[in-house]
Amino acid sequence: GAVVSQHPSRVICKSGTSVKIECRSLDFQATTMFWYRQFPKKSLMLMATSNEGSKATYEQGVEKDKFLINHASLTLSTLTVTSAHPEDSSFYICSARDSLAGGPATDTQYFGPGTRLTVL
């Protein structure tokens, strides 16, 4: 149980184009999902908290107009990198909490396999 998928696993795009990354919880409901960015040899940096049916909460320094997040259902959140540039190249990872786990178990985050974005 508690499987999270991401699609695509890797994407290469031209500078100036937009890229959409999907994050799905396959066997549980997730009212809250998270989007992280990971640089080489670095830890995970939380970009935003995605809340089903409401606006995402962005961390300080993350441009909300550049990284659009939509969480339209209990099992799907999308991250769209708009007008991508080479400096946006990175490994993007999503995670999800099981909304129905109950108690502190709800705090457990299950991670997707990540998406490698390369902007040329």
Give min distance, CB of 8 to other proteins, in A: 13
Give min distance, CB of 47 to other proteins, in A: 11
| CA 70/CA 1 separation, integer angstroms | 24
Give min distance, CB of 99 to other proteins, in A: 11
Please report, as ranges, the residues that interact with other proteins according to CB under 8 A.
Answer: 4, 6, 34, 42-44, 46, 49, 91, 93, 95, 103-114, 116
3-state secondary structure of 52: coil
| CA 118/CA 78 separation, integer angstroms | 18
Closer Cβ to other proteins, 82 or 114, answer by number: 114
Closer Cβ to other proteins, 84 or 93, answer by number: 93
Give min distance, CB of 56 to other proteins, in A: 13
3-state secondary structure of 15: coil
CA neighbor of 112 nearest in space, from 97, 88, 91, 96: 96
Closer Cβ to other proteins, 57 or 82, answer by number: 57
Closer Cβ to other proteins, 46 or 82, answer by number: 46
Tokens representing residue 72 in the block: 């339209």
With a CB cutoff of 8 Å and minimum separation 6, the contacts of 42 are: none
